[in-house]
Structure 1
């Protein structure tokens, strides 16, 4: 295919080296011709251009933190996060723009709908935690693009760090997808903004790493991959995993869940022009992203297996991912085999094959009990039920285990400076590649 040479408008191109191709011609993009044939050139080039675009507002704020003359730092960021930007006497330009975006509520946001979406997200009950741990978080790292940035810090390659990373991920997801969690001064909003700055710190570190392969991977923590995290991992693939387990969401519940994931995507910095608008749009963009992904490689496999193994042997916050009655009577080895059996139901067959998941009889467990789960779900929807109460029961269990003391709120998720520094230092031991530009 002939390379396209037109330079796109790069709103998120600070610290990106000159001479890179357009997004569609990056090494990470697979099946270019097929994508154009299926989705059209305009759509394909628009989305792939975002592999070289990223969250500029958070990145400018991060650069202010590095410039001592601005007076911006993590203390002022936390103050603005907890009390609003007006609580600062002289905020830096980067901070002002970041909070202008954070505090802007798009006209499509309906907080009552977001609340309903959070209730729907959790009301499927005990099946939700293993889906989040294994299909969504671990399964997400089967994607080639998702693993590149996280591997540099070493936090997903070293056993003593995997647990911390997993607990932090649970803490963030539970907070953001809790009913009312995305209110401006609620914990979900706060942690989403924190994760946004972690992304900026990792981008800042990797932009200065000799091992980051710009011509193949594009910009670290880019818009394209950020979009599919909300549309795909916590949207389409979560819904599909729940449905494949025998529990069905109503059309309204699906609409509400995707409204919530859309707003989480907005707060975390995905630009509105590629942010999913609804379920159908999310599925289209998720399918497109899957099509253009490079195949799962050894690095992907290492991360996925590390997360699953650790979550089984050392459940996040000592809360079993599996329902307690199931986990109680099973050895660690059997729980691990069951985890892979469930994963075989939730992830596409080709992904399971690429992950080298051993086929065991446990893969038949969920299909065998699916009719019972389906019947239970249908009866439960007919009989009087309280989805909100059920949601808060399961959230109470998780929050009690993964909560941090009020005095240590800053430790709820990773320290951005530490993660950024680890990425810059390549503590994950990623190989330095010959530059193609």
Structure 2
């Protein structure tokens, strides 16, 4: 179905600028120009073809916190891309969801077209700018159909790279986007698909789908939420279009177990290597609620089959997230993992582990990796101090003995009042007895004769 959405929350213009950086990074590396990142890749001689596939569906009308729509930001980013790449680089533009404004799913799910056929950027720049000029968020999101038709957009030879930009998942389902990406490879088309997700925070379905598309062709999935998050992804995005990759991070040797993990600094790109049956462990600090993103790029120099595993582990030793990859292509590949949905749950030392369980491998596999920590820690709720119980003032001990009240129990089980009644009765009996004796004596004296 069509996606017409309102504002997705407060986000800055830096997110859209970040998208431009990702696109430019991919294009410049593809053309053999190192992107301006901390660990710059080295691309092989000879540029292939680059096709940008752009989402123009209804949901691209959403605005960021400054009132800039996603469509406006994407338009600026694509223009910046064609202006930045060398003139001889072959570049083209395909759109989807751009033309059909109705609700007929059958028509909406075929809404994709090659807006600018692939050609040298020097002559295509003006054409791309013109094609982007009047674009308005319009229809459905037929990602699978766009990928299927992209197979015919390239020439018969050479490397091909697709940069797919979307703010959500496919809304048609036929063909399935992941299957469409795999089909390109089955057809023998040498294509690599890098996917860029616009404002996908919390949209796990879109994240999984775009990641699946990239994985199917040895590409990379990145998100464009803000410039800080894209910094760690820039190198990975640019290397996707490079035939070869040379590691260039800060050399480090990871521990072989969690207990011997080596400290690393988030934001720094490191280089290490690994061979079959080995593990590498690294450790760093992170606060509850912060997001951790890890990107690992292996240089493609070793045919290791399956598999290299990348894991993020919490302070308790539990796996937060993981991903794995295999490689027999001889082309650099990237693994990306991230702690989505509110960041990590526990503050403290977290770990990144890299392990290899290859079928067969000759020598060690070099790789670069970067850990990025972003976002504010979860604020702790102030604990309410219990209201102190007032302490009673001490009272002076009584100076006079306390007299037990009448009717109190002496501990024998007989009420005190019963003793009083019996005492009264005893006195009364004695008094009566004395009166009787006195009367008898008087009677005897009155009857005596003189």
Do the two structures share a fold, i.e. TM-score over 0.5? no
Higher percent of residues as strand: 2
Q: TM-score, normalization: structure 1?
A: 0.23
TM-score, scaled relative to structure 2: 0.23
Identify the structure with the greater helix proportion: 1
